Amino acid sequence: MKLYIRQKVFSWKDKFKVFDSSGEEKYSIEGEFISLGKKLHIYDLQGREVAFIAQKLFSLLPRYFVYINGTEVAEIVKEFSLFRPKYSIEGLGWEINGDFFAHNYDITKNGRRIVSIDKQWMTWGDCYELDIENGNDEIVALSVVLAIDCVMASQAAAASV
């Protein structure tokens, strides 16, 4: 199953829409305008929150928590590395491999692919294609990818200052 995350270009806060392969909207994602640390809420079409992503403050390296139905299911940590970004996903047994600079990477568990992420080029605003193997992993995979995107966006912003 494929999902497409499209960032809203002109917005005061983080806003994304998620579409399925037929172009139908499936989820909306909104960041909090004023908060300590980055926070994202994922809503279904009925406006119910299906996931919440929160940055841990006062951490040496970027760290984000993923909550589903109020329960922490994963912690995404950017690990120390000199040349290539490296991330770990704690709580799910998932591993991340690929080219983060080009936004093309896979998340696997025991060698089985969970989701493949590819950045779509030549689009208005950022757009990512997620190819999710099992529909049961949809919300968690979407949340983990968004947390990784938060880390990369905040580091790109810090580097441009």
Instruction: Give the chain as a 3 state SS string.
Output: CEEEEEECCCCCCCEEEEEECCCCEEEEEEECCCCCCCEEEEECCCCCEEEEEEECCCCCCCEEEEEECCEEEEEEEEECCCCCCEEEEECCCCEEEEECCCCEEEEEECCEEEEEEEEECCCCCCEEEEEECCHHHHHHHHHHHHHHHHHHHHHHHHHCC
At residue 51's C-alpha, the angle toward residues 105 and 137, to 5°, is: 50
Of 35 and 149, the one with more pLDDT: 149
Entry pTM: 0.84
Least confident of 7-16, 131-140, 148-157: 7-16
Q: Is the pLDDT of residue 12 over 50?
A: no
Is the pLDDT at 8 greater than 80? The verdict is no
**Across all residues in the chain, what is the average pLDDT?**
83
Evaluate if residue 11 carries a pLDDT over 50: no
Q: Model confidence over 95-131: pLDDT tens digits?
A: 988 876 656 889 999 999 999 998 876 555 668 899 9
- Going by pLDDT thresholds of 50, 70 and 90, the confidence category of residue 33 is confident
Identify the sign of the CA torsion 151, 153, 158, 159: positive
